Amino acid sequence: MTTTPERRFKDAIYEQFARLGKAVSAPKRLELLDVLSQGPRTVEELAEQANISIANASQHLQVLRAARLVDAEKKGLYVEYRLAGDEVGRFFLALRGLASTRLAEVDQVTRAYLERSGAMDPVDSDELMRRVKAGEVTVLDVRPPSEYRAGHIPGALSIPIDELKNRLKELPKNREVVAYCRGPYCVMAVEAVELLRKKGFKAQRMEEGVVDWRARGWRVATEGARP
C-alpha cells in the first residue's frame, strides 16, 4: 500500500489525538482529573482522595502531564498539580456527560448506590439550581476547605463532611439546606443529606458541583474558608 504525504499527515494527526485517549484510559486517572477540577492538589492529597499509594498517584500524574492535561509546580517541599487549563475541565465534563448518556451502566451503578442510601428523591435539577442561585435556600459545601477556597458557589457555607456532625448548630433549622460536593458522582453530599435529615433538617442534594456551575457561565466565588 502506497503511503502518500496526505496519509502520513492524517496518521500523525490522529496519533496525537490518541495520546489523550490513552491518557484517560485508566479509571484512577479520570478520578484524579475530577479531583483536580475542584482545585490544585499535592500528590499526597491526590493519593488520599483516590485511595491509592503516593507512588501510584505519581505515575498516573506523569501520564496526564505527558499528555499536557495537568501541570505541576514546586511549592516548598511539595509538588502541586493543577489542570493545564479550563479546556481540560470542559473536556472532563463533556466526557462525563457522554458516558452518562451513552452507557446505561453509569445510571445503573448510580441508581443502585443512591437507592441503598435512600437518596433517590426526585429533584428538578434546573429548578433546584435556580433556587440556589436566587439565595432561597441555605447552600452547604461539604468538600474539603482547600476546594472551597479554590472556588465555590457564591453564598455557600463551608462545612466539610467530616465536621458536619459537630457544626450543625451553624445551620438555620427554618430554611431548607441544599448540600453539594464535586458533582453527580460525589458521595459526600449524599452522606451530608442523610445526616441532616436524621437531625430534623429539610435537606436535599444538588447533583451539580462547581465545575457544572462554572460551565453554565455563572460566577464562582473564591473567598477563604474558615480555618
- The alpha carbon torsion through 194, 196, 197, 203 (nearest 10 deg) reads -100
Whether the Cβ atoms of residue 56 and residue 44 lie closer than 8 Å to each other: no
The single residue of 61, 132, 181, 189 carrying the catalytic annotation is 181
Q: How far is CA 18 from CA 11, 47, 59, 132, 138, in A?
A: 10, 26, 19, 40, 44
Q: Closest Cα to residue 180, out of 151, 210, 137?
A: 210
Q: Is 225 helix (H, G, I), strand (E, B) or coil?
A: coil
Task: Give yes or no: 186 in active site.
Answer: no
C-alpha angle 64-209-151 in degrees, rounded to nearest 5: 75
> Is 172 in contact with 140 (CB distance < 8 Å)?
no
Return the active site residues: 181
